[in-house]
C-alpha cells in the first residue's frame, strides 16, 4: 500500500537536508451510426445512460485523477491525465463509441466519411447547429484551421516537440505530413487529401489531441505563443481556455491541485447534455493509499484508477469497481537480441521459444491480476483492429527443456539477469517485483540461474529498456489507439530509421514490410490481412513473451451512477449523475 513515491521522497529529503457523446459520439448517445474504418455505417444500440433510476440533475463530482495535466491545450499533450480531462471538453470529427476501444463513430461529422477507392481522399460532412463553447460556429473552416495549425507547428519549437501525435500519425509536420491538403468546398464539407493511403487515419483521429478548438479562441488567446513559458492558453491561464464543443467547459486549473469543468449549457447534443453541474478533478492524489482513503472517506467520489492491490479493500468498503471491458494494453517479457553490436543468447530462436514455454503465464494472471485480465494470444489485445489470434507456446517444462537443449547454452550463458522496474505500478504490471520473482522461479526450473535486478522506473528503467540496455526485462504498452499499428509497429517492432527497435534488436524485414504494407493499405480489410501476416511471423519468432492483457482498475462510491468505463480510459462524464 505504501507506494512508489517514497523513493523519490527520500531523495528529496536528502536534498532538503543538504540545503539545510455524446451523441453520436465521443460522449454516450441514444442511437448512433457507427462504423469501423473502411466499413459502412451500421446502427448500434447506445449504452445505458443510468445505472439506477432516473438521473438526478446537478451536483459536483469529485474525480481523483492519477496526476496533473501537462497543458490545457489538448494539441500539446500526450499524457493520460490531460487526455482524460480533454475528453470532456473537446470533440473531434470522429470518436469512440462509449465503452469500446475501437468502434469509431461520427461525432462532429454527421456521418462516417466517404473514402475514395485509392484510400487517399476522405470527405466528411459536418453536423449543423454546433457551436463552440465561446459561441462561435463550428464549420468546415474551423476544421481546416485546426488541422492546418497542427500541420504548421515548427518541429523545433516547444509546440512541435510537445505535439507528439500529429507527426506520429501523419509522419511529420509541414510537407513531411501525409496530409497533402485539407479543404472546405462548402461550410459543411471537409476534404482530406492524403499523399498515401493510411489505414489508421480514422481510428487515430479519435484521439482527444485531434479535438477541435474554436479558431477564434486560439487566435485571440495567442495559443501559438512560444516559448510555452509565455503561453497562457497552454497553461489554462488565459481569459478563455480549451474552448471545444463538448458537454463540459473548462473553468479553472490550479496546477498540482485541481481542474474544474462546468456543464456546457448550450451543448449542441441536448439529448446527451451533462447531468452534473460541475466536475472537479483532484490531481494531488499521486499516492495510491491516499487515493483509496479519499474514496473510502468520501473526500472524492470517483477514482480514475486505483492500485490493483487495493481492489479487495475497495470492494470490502462498499466501493464499485469499474468494469472497463476490453483491454487496451499488453504486458510482456522483453528479450533483447543484441546489446549494442553484441548478440545475446536471446538472438537464438530456440532460447526465446524455450523461455516462452517455461513461463506459467496463467498462474501469473491468477496471482497478480484481476478477474477480467487474460493471457494474450498475440501482441495486442483481442479488441484491437487488425488483431489475429495466434497459437503461442503454452506452459510446458518439457517443451522448454527441449527447445533450450537445442540451443546448447553453456553454464555461463544460462546465468541470466532479469530486470524489473521499481517505484512504479502499471495496469499491465501491478506488482513488478513479485511478477519478476515468479518468472525467475519458472526460468530456474527450466535450467537458468536467474539474478534479479531492479532500476527506478522514472530515472533509469524506461530509458534503459527503450534504448536497448536491458537484456531480459518486464515491460508493457498501453494503447494510444486500439489499432495493430499502435502495438506492433509503433510500440514494438517497427523499424526506426531502417533499424530494428533497440529495445528488442529483433530484425525481420518481411515482418516490417508487412506492417508498412498494412499502414499504407487503402482498405481496412487489406490492412488486416497484412497485420495478420506480420503477427504470424511474430508467433514463429517469439521476439517477446506476451504476458497479459489487463484493464486498469478504478472505483467509485455508491453515489455515482451512469458511468461507462472503457479499457483505454477514453471515458465521458456526461451520462454520470449523483444520487442525493
Partner 1 sequence: MPRYIVRRIVGAIPILFGLSIALFLFLHLLPGDPATAILGQHATPQLIAQVRANLGLDQPLYVQYLAYLGRLLHGDLGASFVDSRTVVSEFATKFPATVELTMGALIFAIGLGIPLGRLAGRHPNGWLDGLLTVVSLFGISVPIFVLGYSLVFVFGVELHWLPAVGQADPRLGVPTVTHFAIIDAILTGRPVAVVDAVAHLILPAIALGTIPFAIITRITRAAVIDVANEDYVRTARAKGLTEQRVDSRHIMRNAWLPVMTIIGLEVGGLLGGAVITETVFAWNGVGSWVVSAVENHDYIVVQSLVLIFAVIFLVVNLIVDIGYAFLNPRIRYT
Of the pair 297, 398, the CB lying nearest partner 1 is at 297
Of the pair 324, 469, the CB lying nearest partner 1 is at 469
How far apart, in Å, are the Cα atoms of 549 and each of 285, 375, 383, 398, 424?
Answer: 26, 6, 11, 26, 18
Spatial distance between the Cα atoms of 536 and 529, rounded to a whole number of angstroms: 11
Give min distance, CB of 558 to partner 1, in A.
15
Of the pair 111, 237, the CB lying nearest partner 1 is at 237
Give min distance, CB of 128 to partner 1, in A.
36
Of the pair 140, 303, the CB lying nearest partner 1 is at 303
Give min distance, CB of 2 to partner 1, in A.
7
Edge-to-edge order in the sheet of strand 555-556: 248-254, 258-263, 278-282, 60-64, 302-303, 555-556, 320-321
Q: How far is CA 233 from the centre of its chain?
A: 25
Give min distance, CB of 152 to partner 1, in A.
17
Count CB atoms within 10 A of the CB of residue 41.
14
Of the pair 239, 363, the CB lying nearest partner 1 is at 239
3-state SS, 35-79, equals ECCCCCCEEEECCCCCCCCCCCCCCEEEEECCCCCCCCCHHHCCC
Give min distance, CB of 13 to partner 1, in A.
5
Residues of this chain that bind partner 1 (CB under 8 A): 1-2, 5-6, 8-9, 11-13, 15-20, 60, 62, 68, 70-71, 78-79, 155-158, 160-161, 164, 168, 227-229, 231, 234-235, 252, 254-258, 260, 280, 282, 284-287, 289-290, 293-294, 296-300, 317, 456, 458-460, 462-463, 466, 477, 491, 496-497
Give min distance, CB of 355 to partner 1, in A.
23
Of the pair 125, 299, the CB lying nearest partner 1 is at 299
Spatial distance between the Cα atoms of 237 and 226, rounded to a whole number of angstroms: 15
Count CB atoms within 10 A of the CB of residue 204.
24
Give min distance, CB of 47 to partner 1, in A.
27
Cβ–Cβ < 8 Å for 524, 205: no
Give min distance, CB of 513 to partner 1, in A.
21
Spatial distance between the Cα atoms of 477 and 175, rounded to a whole number of angstroms: 30
Of the pair 325, 458, the CB lying nearest partner 1 is at 458
Q: How far is CA 240 from the centre of its chain?
A: 28
Sequence-separated (6 or more) residues with CB below 8 Å from residue 203: 37, 102, 104, 385, 481, 482, 483
Give min distance, CB of 411 to partner 1, in A.
32
Query: What element of type H or E holds 441?
Result: helix 432-445
Give min distance, CB of 399 to partner 1, in A.
32
DSSP state of 136: P
Spatial distance between the Cα atoms of 390 and 531, rounded to a whole number of angstroms: 12
Of the pair 235, 433, the CB lying nearest partner 1 is at 235
Q: How close are the terminal C-alpha atoms of the chain, in Å?
A: 32
Q: Does a cis peptide bond (omega within 30 degrees of 0) precede residue 451?
A: no
Of the pair 182, 306, the CB lying nearest partner 1 is at 306
Of the pair 33, 67, the CB lying nearest partner 1 is at 67
Amino acid at each position: 500500500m505504501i507506494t512508489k513515491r517514497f523513493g523519490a521522497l527520500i531523495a528529496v529529503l536528502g536534498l532538503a537536508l543538504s540545503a539545510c457523446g455524446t451523441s453520436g459520439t465521443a460522449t454516450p448517445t441514444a442511437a448512433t451510426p457507427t462504423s469501423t474504418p473502411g466499413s459502412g455505417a451500421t446502427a448500434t444500440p447506445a449504452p445505458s445512460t443510468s445505472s439506477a433510476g432516473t438521473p438526478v440533475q446537478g451536483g459536483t463530482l469529485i474525480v481523483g485523477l492519477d496526476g496533473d495535466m501537462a497543458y490545457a491545450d489538448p494539441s500539446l499533450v500526450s499524457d493520460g491525465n490531460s487526455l482524460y480531462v480533454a475528453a470532456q471538453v473537446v470533440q473531434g470529427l470522429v470518436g469512440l463509441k462509449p465503452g469500446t476501444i475501437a468502434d469509431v463513430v461520427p461525432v462532429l461529422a454527421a456521418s462516417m466519411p466517404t473514402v475514395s477507392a485509392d484510400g487517399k481522399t476522405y470527405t466528411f460532412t459536418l453536423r449543423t447547429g454546433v457551436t463552440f463553447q465561446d459561441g462561435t460556429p463550428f464549420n468546415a473552416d474551423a476544421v481546416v484551421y485546426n488541422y492546418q495549425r497542427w500541420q504548421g507547428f515548427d518541429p523545433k519549437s516547444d509546440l512541435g516537440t510537445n505535439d507528439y501525435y500529429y507527426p506520429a500519425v501523419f509522419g511529420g509536420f509541414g510537407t513531411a505530413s501525409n496530409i497533402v491538403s485539407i479543404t472546405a468546398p462548402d461550410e459543411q464539407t471537409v476534404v482530406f487529401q492524403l499523399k498515401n493511403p493510411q489505414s489508421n487515419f480514422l481510428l487515430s483521429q479519435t484521439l482527444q489531441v485531434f479535438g477541435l478548438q474554436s479558431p477564434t479562441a486560439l487566435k485571440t488567446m495567442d495559443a501559438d505563443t512560444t516559448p510555452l513559458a509565455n503561453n497562457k492558453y497552454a497553461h489554462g491561464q488565459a481569459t478563455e481556455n480549451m474552448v471545444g464543443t463538448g458537454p463540459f467547459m473548462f473553468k479553472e486549473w490550479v496546477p498540482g491541485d485541481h481542474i474544474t469543468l462546468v456543464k456546457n449549457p448550450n451543448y449542441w447534443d441536448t439529448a446527451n447534455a451533462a447531468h452534473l453541474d460541475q466536475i472537479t478533478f483532484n490531481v494531488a492524489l499521486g499516492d495510491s493509499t491516499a487515493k483509496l482513503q479519499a474514496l473510502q472517506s468520501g473526500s472524492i467520489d470517483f477514482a480514475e484508477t486505483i492500485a490493483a492491490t487495493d481492489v479487495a479493500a475497495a470492494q470490502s468498503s462498499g466501493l464499485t469497481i469499474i468494469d472497463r471491458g476490453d483491454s487496451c494494453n499488453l504486458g510482456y517479457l522483453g528479450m533483447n537480441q543484441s546489446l549494442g553490436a553484441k548478440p545475446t543468447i536471446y538472438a537464438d530462436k530456440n532460447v526465446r521459444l524455450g523461455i516462452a514455454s517455461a513461463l506459467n503465464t496463467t498462474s501469473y494472471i491468477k496471482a497478480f491480476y484481476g478477474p477480467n485480465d487474460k493471457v494474450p494470444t498475440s501482441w495486442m489485445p483481442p479488441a484491437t483492429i487488425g488483431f489475429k489470434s495466434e497459437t503461442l507456446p503454452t506452459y510446458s517444462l518439457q517443451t522448454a527443456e527441449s527447445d533450450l537443449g537445442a540451443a546448447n547454452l553453456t553454464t555461463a550463458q544460462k546465468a541470466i539477469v532479469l530486470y524489473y522496474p521499481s517505484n512504479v505500478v502499471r495496469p499491465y504490471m501491478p506488482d513488478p517485483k513479485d511478477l519478476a520473482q515468479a518468472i525467475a522461479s519458472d526460468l530456474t526450473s527450466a535450467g537458468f540461474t536467474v539474478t534479479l535486478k531492479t532500476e527506478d522506473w522514472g530515472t533509469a528503467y524506461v530509458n534503459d529498456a527503450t534504448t536497448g540496455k536491458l537484456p531480459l526485462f518486464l515491460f508493457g504498452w498501453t494503447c494510444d489507439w486500439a489499432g495493430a499499428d499502435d502495438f506492433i509497429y509503433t510500440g514494438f517492432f517497427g523499424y526506426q530509421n531502417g533499424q530494428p527497435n533497440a529495445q528488442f534488436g529483433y530484425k525481420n524485414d518481411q515482418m516490417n514490410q508487412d506492417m508498412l504494407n498494412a499502414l499504407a493499405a487503402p482498405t481496412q480489410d487489406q490492412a488486416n490481412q497484412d497485420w495478420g501476416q506480420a503477427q504470424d511471423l511474430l508467433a514463429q519468432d517469439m521476439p517477446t513473451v506476451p504476458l497479459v492483457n489487463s484493464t486498469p482498475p478504478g472505483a467509485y462510491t455508491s453515489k455515482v451512477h451512469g458511468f461507462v468505463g472503457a479499457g483505454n480510459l477514453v471515458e465521458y462524464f456526461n451520462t454520470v449523475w449523483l444520487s442525493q
